[in-house]
Amino acid sequence: MNSTTIMMMITIMLTNIIMMLNIILSKKTITDREKSSPFECGFDPKSSSRMPFSLKFFLIAAIFLIFDIEIALLLPMMPTMMMTKMYYWMETTTIFILILIMGLYHEWNQGALNWAK
Protein backbone atom coordinates (compact mmCIF):
# COMPACT_ATOMS: atom_id res chain seq x y z
CA MET A 1 0.00 0.00 0.00
CA ASN A 2 0.94 3.55 -0.51
CA SER A 3 2.21 5.49 2.51
CA THR A 4 -0.30 8.29 1.82
CA THR A 5 -3.18 5.79 1.94
CA ILE A 6 -1.92 4.34 5.21
CA MET A 7 -1.59 7.79 6.77
CA MET A 8 -5.09 8.70 5.58
CA MET A 9 -6.57 5.53 7.10
CA ILE A 10 -4.76 6.13 10.40
CA THR A 11 -6.00 9.71 10.50
CA ILE A 12 -9.60 8.66 9.82
CA MET A 13 -9.44 5.90 12.46
CA LEU A 14 -7.88 8.23 15.04
CA THR A 15 -10.53 10.88 14.35
CA ASN A 16 -13.34 8.35 14.73
CA ILE A 17 -11.88 7.02 17.98
CA ILE A 18 -11.62 10.53 19.44
CA MET A 19 -15.21 11.33 18.42
CA MET A 20 -16.52 8.10 19.96
CA LEU A 21 -14.62 8.82 23.21
CA ASN A 22 -16.11 12.29 23.27
CA ILE A 23 -19.64 10.90 22.92
CA ILE A 24 -19.09 8.29 25.62
CA LEU A 25 -17.32 10.52 28.15
CA SER A 26 -19.31 13.74 27.76
CA LYS A 27 -21.70 14.62 30.56
CA LYS A 28 -24.78 15.64 28.64
CA THR A 29 -28.16 15.85 30.25
CA ILE A 30 -30.98 16.23 27.80
CA THR A 31 -33.49 17.57 30.32
CA ASP A 32 -31.28 20.22 31.90
CA ARG A 33 -33.64 23.03 33.02
CA GLU A 34 -31.09 25.82 32.76
CA LYS A 35 -30.00 24.90 29.25
CA SER A 36 -33.52 24.48 27.89
CA SER A 37 -34.82 27.75 29.34
CA PRO A 38 -34.24 31.02 27.47
CA PHE A 39 -31.44 33.23 28.75
CA GLU A 40 -32.67 36.63 29.91
CA CYS A 41 -29.80 38.36 31.74
CA GLY A 42 -29.58 35.56 34.29
CA PHE A 43 -33.20 35.89 35.42
CA ASP A 44 -36.14 33.63 34.78
CA PRO A 45 -38.36 35.10 32.07
CA LYS A 46 -41.57 36.72 33.30
CA SER A 47 -43.59 36.01 30.18
CA SER A 48 -43.62 33.36 27.50
CA SER A 49 -40.34 32.90 25.68
CA ARG A 50 -42.16 32.09 22.46
CA MET A 51 -43.40 35.42 21.20
CA PRO A 52 -45.57 35.32 18.08
CA PHE A 53 -43.56 36.12 14.97
CA SER A 54 -44.74 39.04 12.87
CA LEU A 55 -45.62 37.72 9.45
CA LYS A 56 -45.50 41.27 8.05
CA PHE A 57 -41.87 41.59 9.12
CA PHE A 58 -41.03 38.29 7.41
CA LEU A 59 -42.81 39.40 4.24
CA ILE A 60 -40.96 42.72 4.13
CA ALA A 61 -37.65 40.90 4.70
CA ALA A 62 -38.41 38.43 1.89
CA ILE A 63 -39.34 41.26 -0.50
CA PHE A 64 -36.14 43.10 0.44
CA LEU A 65 -34.05 39.99 -0.32
CA ILE A 66 -35.78 39.44 -3.65
CA PHE A 67 -35.24 43.03 -4.80
CA ASP A 68 -31.70 43.01 -3.43
CA ILE A 69 -30.86 39.98 -5.58
CA GLU A 70 -32.49 41.64 -8.57
CA ILE A 71 -30.29 44.71 -8.11
CA ALA A 72 -27.28 42.41 -8.02
CA LEU A 73 -28.48 41.03 -11.36
CA LEU A 74 -28.81 44.56 -12.77
CA LEU A 75 -25.23 45.59 -11.94
CA PRO A 76 -23.49 43.43 -14.58
CA MET A 77 -25.70 44.92 -17.29
CA MET A 78 -23.55 48.06 -17.56
CA PRO A 79 -20.27 46.36 -18.58
CA THR A 80 -22.11 44.12 -21.06
CA MET A 81 -23.55 47.17 -22.81
CA MET A 82 -20.27 47.69 -24.69
CA MET A 83 -20.02 44.05 -25.76
CA THR A 84 -23.47 43.62 -27.33
CA LYS A 85 -25.61 45.42 -29.85
CA MET A 86 -27.40 48.36 -28.31
CA TYR A 87 -30.85 47.29 -29.53
CA TYR A 88 -30.66 43.83 -27.92
CA TRP A 89 -29.18 45.22 -24.72
CA MET A 90 -31.91 47.87 -24.46
CA GLU A 91 -34.66 45.32 -25.17
CA THR A 92 -33.37 42.87 -22.55
CA THR A 93 -32.86 45.58 -19.93
CA THR A 94 -36.30 47.09 -20.57
CA ILE A 95 -38.04 43.71 -20.24
CA PHE A 96 -36.14 42.93 -17.04
CA ILE A 97 -36.94 46.30 -15.45
CA LEU A 98 -40.60 46.03 -16.53
CA ILE A 99 -40.83 42.64 -14.80
CA LEU A 100 -39.36 44.22 -11.66
CA ILE A 101 -41.83 47.12 -11.79
CA MET A 102 -44.77 44.75 -12.34
CA GLY A 103 -43.65 42.68 -9.33
CA LEU A 104 -43.37 45.80 -7.19
CA TYR A 105 -46.82 46.97 -8.34
CA HIS A 106 -48.28 43.55 -7.52
CA GLU A 107 -46.80 43.60 -4.02
CA TRP A 108 -48.08 47.13 -3.51
CA ASN A 109 -51.52 46.22 -4.86
CA GLN A 110 -51.76 43.18 -2.55
CA GLY A 111 -50.98 45.39 0.45
CA ALA A 112 -47.70 43.70 1.34
CA LEU A 113 -45.90 47.05 1.55
CA ASN A 114 -48.41 48.68 3.90
CA TRP A 115 -46.82 48.18 7.31
CA ALA A 116 -49.50 49.85 9.44
CA LYS A 117 -53.07 48.80 8.77
* pLDDT value of position 94: 92
Rounded Cα gap, residues 45 and 48, in angstroms = 7
Whether the predicted model's global pTM rises above the 0.75 cut: no
* 95 pLDDT tier (thresholds 50, 70, 90): very high
What's the pLDDT tens digit per position in 5-50?
999 999 999 999 999 998 888 776 566 666 666 665 665 556 665 6
Confidence at residue 113, expressed as pLDDT on a 0 to 100 scale: 73
Q: How far apart are CA 49 and CA 26, in angstroms?
A: 29
Mean residue pLDDT of the chain comes to 80
DSSP structural state of residue 1: -
